[in-house]
Structure 1
């Protein structure tokens, strides 16, 4: 037997595994690295976050990524180069964190790498009936594995599309597994570049969960701030706080049919970008929005579309607590508006569920890797086969 296969089998049978989860989201701001201790599988899964780091990308690297991300025409050579480079680079960042944490690579059972999404193309977005749902992540798992000498599981979203899904959002599989309460309904919301939430009915109610994107999270706000203020993001919501919401512009944005599509649904910055914004304003004949008001209006768009999506799945008597993760949680203007738009719902940090809110997405992929190694897979309504496992395995050698 190939010794790598034997080692894979040994790892899969361990009662507790040390797994590094990686997440680099649509905001392109850096790599989240979560060192997790995971025991059990399925509903019996227990996760302890041992260490976490969010490593920022420098400006030159971010600009190189942006040039090939969420745009229809790119240099194929640049995509190929970045696919390999990113794998090696993420491997280097992992090794640096392990040295800082005084953890040897040999102590890690596997790495779970989400990769960097450079294009997301569900059918409802590309509108080509003969073509499937599709999504593309770069940052090759073989290069991460070889660089770190650690077994790596990557490319999780491809099996989701192969089984008829849209490739996103995937957090719901793990949200349901880890955060469903016996008697309390819950909503877990992640505000990254795109906002998504999972509604988790209490186990006692025997109702299905719902996971969906709602529309833009930080992606439009960040893009506007970069273009108008030469900053990476609206720190502490200061720009939005200084501006006023332009009601006409907000109405123009919310007129998009996407917001009326039934849940669940998915999207990405391929759709919600500054070109989309400019097109909406142009069609509405709006030309006089100040820079501060522009950012305030986009922030309000995020808040209202999140709130309206959540309200659409609840009845008048249902007010489940809402737990928030992702970069948007750090924007006090956005969070204040959410609280005002959802006055009957208690909104708090994901930390109240036991995890750093910035680490949540990286932890999700660590748990997905654990399920690939030892679990029984996940049910997908669109799948024509038995339970589905996500991820591709790369051996170090």
Structure 2
């Protein structure tokens, strides 16, 4: 047996494993690095986050990602180069984090790397009859494995596509294993660039569980802030709170076929971008609207789409415990609007379930890797969008 395969086999068979989960989302603020101690698998998974940090990206690195991000036409040479450059940068950030936390690289059993999404193209978006669902994450696993000396699982979304899904959202798998509770309806709401949630029914029936994107979370607000205010995001919703939501613009923003699609569904900045906003302003005759009012309206837009999606699951008088994660949970106006629109729901964060909400997405990929190494595919039934598969390609460090 190849010694590296033997090493993989022995590590997968351990009673507990140290797995680093990585996440770099559409916000591109930095690399989330979660060091997790994982025991068991499947319904018996137990996970403890030992350390977590968001390793900030430099402005130069972020600009390089944006040059290939969410564009139909892009410099193909630059995509090739960024595949390695992102991986090399992530590897260095991992090495730095381990040194900071006092770990040797040999202490770590596996790394689960999401990579950087640069384009997401479900059929509902590309509408090309001869082509399947597509998504592309770059930041090659082999480069990370070689530069950290740690076995890597990466490129998780391709198996989901191959099995008939849209490549997203993948939260259903980790949320089911980590957060299902018998007798309690739960909504695991992640408000990142795109907002998505997992519905966990009180019955714990895997056949009834699903994850879905619901629309923009922070992406439109962040894009607008970066272009018009020179700020990465609207800290504490200061700009949005100084403005007033415009009903005509809000109605135009909500007028989109995506919101009528059945669950589960996926989307991204390929749809919800500044061009989308400009078209809505033109349709609603609000092109001269003040910038603070635009920000207020965009925040109301995100809140409205999230609330409407939850009502589709639970009815107009929705009652559920909603556990938030992602950057949007730090937006006081957005959270206030959600409480207003869903008064019977109880809003908490995943910290109430012993998982740092800022680390949740990175932890998810550690759980997905653990299932691929040590578990079995969970039977979610024969439903579109939730294939019963294990995910992640394995890269060996030698």
- What TM bracket, shorter-length normalisation? over 0.9
Partners in 2 of 1:204 and 1:45 — Cα distance? 15
1:77-125 alpha-carbon deviations (Å, 9 max, x no partner): 1111110011111010001000000011111000000000000000111
Partners in 2 of 1:41 and 1:365 — Cα distance? 14
Q: Is contact 1:322-1:345 (8 Å) kept?
A: yes
Partners in 2 of 1:194 and 1:378 — Cα distance? 26
Q: What TM-score do you get using the length of structure 1 for normalisation? A: 0.97
Which residue matches 1:217? 217
Which residue matches 1:69? 69
Which residue matches 1:194? 194
Which residue matches 1:174? 174
**Match runs of 1:350-361 below 5 Å:** 350-361=350-361
SS of 1:137's equivalent? Answer: strand
Q: Runs of 5+ in structure 2 lacking a partner?
A: none
Partners in 1 of 2:205 and 2:318 — Cα distance? 13
Partners in 2 of 1:355 and 1:393 — Cα distance? 26
Q: Is contact 1:27-1:219 (8 Å) kept?
A: yes
Quote how far apart the aligned CAs of 1:276 are: 1.0
Which residue matches 2:10? 10
Partners in 1 of 2:190 and 2:8 — Cα distance? 32
Which residue matches 1:394? 395
Deviates more, 1:33-42 or 1:369-378: 369-378
Distance change in 2, residues 1:96/1:205 (3 Å) = closer
Q: Is contact 1:376-1:387 (8 Å) kept?
A: no
Quote how far apart the aligned CAs of 1:297 are: 0.5
SS of 1:313's equivalent? Answer: helix
SS of 1:203's equivalent? Answer: coil
Quote how far apart the aligned CAs of 1:63 are: 1.1
SS of 2:22's equivalent? Answer: strand
Partners in 1 of 2:75 and 2:318 — Cα distance? 50
1:142-196 alpha-carbon deviations (Å, 9 max, x no partner): 0000000000000000000011100000011110111010211111100000000
Partners in 1 of 2:173 and 2:185 — Cα distance? 16
Q: Runs of 5+ in structure 1 lacking a partner?
A: none
**Match runs of 1:227-376 below 5 Å:** 227-315=227-315, 319-376=319-376
Distance change in 2, residues 1:107/1:348 (3 Å) = same
Which residue matches 2:120? 120
Cα RMSD (Å) = 1.5
